[in-house]
Copies of this chain bind each other. A is one copy, B any other.
Amino acid sequence: MAVAKAWWYRELPSRPRPQGMTTPWECSMVQTTERVLVSDLRERVGETVSVCGWVNTLRLQSKMQFLVLRDHTGMVQITHRRCGESDEIEVALEGLTTESAVRIVGRVVDNPIVKLGGLELVPQQLEILNRADTPLPIDEHTSLDQRLNWRFLDIRMRPQAQLLFAVQTTLEQGMREYAYGQGCTEMHTPKLMGTASESGAEVFKLGYFDRSAYLAQSPQFFKQMAIAAGIDKVFEIGPVFRAEPSFTSRHATEFTGVDVELAWINDVEDVMNFEEQMLAHAIAKVADAHGNEVRESFGVEITVPTTPFPRVTMAEAQKILRAGGWDPAGMKEDLDPDGERGVAAHFLEQTGHEFVFVTHYPTSIRPFYHMRPENDSNVTLSFDLLWKGLEVTTGAQREHRYDVLIKQAAEKSMSTEPLQDYLNAFRFGCPPHGGLGMGLGRVLMILLGLDSIREATFLFRGPNRLTP
């Protein structure tokens, strides 16, 4: 990054310098040359450059000192020949610790015998910007829970974790690219609600001046309000909160939701069509940008899905599962995790596809605002999307007719009073619409073959974890 110092002195030399200041910015760091990323060093052979990064390893021999420096683009060997006690670099290297943050100025030398890219840096200056304590609190044998306590080190020291956030960035870029291309508007809906309206259960409650507020479990009601506000297609990526005491590998109390809501749809097929196109586009972008790295680092092949994805009704999915022996006690309307895996396995075998939309969920296990077909009030015009057997999305066409919505809320024994702001949106010309909510962490978990959503989140939040 180029340094543009003291603009107003250069451009407006007549302006007086504030008293007591010698230069506009002063801090403890010496900077002699511009920073070069490790991945760009090959182009700088013969030059003196500055590199910044962490001490990956130190090898201090009697005549030579070797330091491997790591930045987010790679690693380079720093080779220093000892030359006695008055050698400041020698002394500094002797007292150094792994994971310390350093800046090194040195000459880039082409040296084919160096394993790291046939390059080394001969240091002329070494600056310890932040020395790491010893011992480090985690290493490669540390348990996941303990690693999460030191998540910043866990991420920094594992290239796999670094890659995960690069993949996340590209994935979101891809989803936004598709959404913008379809005319979506990016909305930011409130996370603070006046009533715990969507379900009442599993909602966090907070003190709000002299009253209470609730954290939104999803942007559901608000994105529908945006539809009623004439926004044609709504897109949002943001946090959602679930006060659910779940300790599984796929649940969190706070996670990042990708939400879409589409106005003037013909039916819920339009929503599924949007989702499969969006995912195919985003996954293709990830495969393109990171496919090789992901294969090397995670041992996972990123398969760009073909569209359309297979679809199966819940009734048919259960028929398929029962034919295969699935018969969980008390499980008549929903799929348990075993059932989800079974459906996915069936369609993988039949169609070769990793994704499957399960449609027509029973009314009894869907919220009151899911639309039902004209001729069958037992099912909803809804879907879940399973990827490799894990639910990554719930979607539906929403009921936009005020009278039907009121009737469906009553059937679910919901009090309409706390719902009034929501219901009002359907009294003045709300168009037909539908949408979906996707868990970003779950998508990443499946994409990269991770065992737990804890690994797919920067700082995981669960019933027992609110730190760091």
Contact = CB atoms under 8 A, between A and B. Distances in A.
A421 B136 contact: no
A157 B427 CA distance: 15
Contact of A169 (B156, B180, B427, B430): B180
Interface stretch (A41-49, A81-89, A199-207): A199-207
A158 to B, nearest CB: 9
Contact of A373 (B26, B208, B424): B26
Across chains A and B, which 3 residue pairs bring their CB atoms closest together, nearest first? A194-B466, A206-B206, A156-B230
Interface in A100-133: 100-101, 103, 129-133
The winner among A161, A189, A231 for most chain B CB atoms within 10 A is A231
B173 A180 contact: yes
A398 to B, nearest CB: 11
A316 interface: yes
Interface in A31-75: 31, 35, 52, 54-55, 71-72
Contacts of A18: 313, 315-316, 360
Interface stretch (A220-228, A334-342, A385-393, A445-453): A220-228
A116 B197 CA distance: 42
A172 interface: yes
Given A172-B186, A316-B18, A239 B191 contact: yes
A401 interface: yes
Given A4-B269, A99-B428, A188-B457, 19 more contacts: A7-B308, A8-B311, A16-B316, A52-B431, A54-B230, A72-B231, A101-B429, A152-B226, A165-B185, A166-B185, A169-B185, A188-B237, A188-B440, A189-B459, A190-B254, A190-B461, A195-B467, A225-B468, A421-B468
A206 B204 contact: yes
- The count of identical subunits is 2
Given A54-B429, A194-B466, A466-B193, A397 B27 contact: yes
A192 B27 contact: no
A308 B10 CA distance: 12
A19 B373 contact: no
A1 B130 contact: no
Interface string A212-251: 0101000000100110111110000111010101000000
13 contacts: A8-B312, A25-B268, A72-B231, A99-B429, A101-B432, A136-B428, A151-B225, A173-B186, A190-B461, A191-B241, A192-B254, A208-B253, A225-B468
Contacts of A376: 20-21, 26
A54 to B, nearest CB: 5
A28 B468 CA distance: 51
Interface of A: 1-8, 12, 15-16, 18-22, 24-29, 31, 35, 52, 54-55, 71-72, 99-101, 103, 129-133, 136-137, 150-156, 161-162, 165-166, 168-169, 172-173, 176, 180, 184-195, 204-209, 211, 213, 215, 222, 225-226, 228-232, 237-239, 241, 243, 245, 253-254, 256, 262, 264-270, 273-274, 308, 310-313, 315-316, 350-351, 359-360, 371, 373-376, 381, 397, 400-402, 421-422, 424-432, 440, 457-459, 461, 463, 466-468
Contacts of A12: 350-351
Contacts of A400: 101, 129-130
Given A229-B155, A431-B129, A213 B466 contact: yes
Nearest to A463: B209
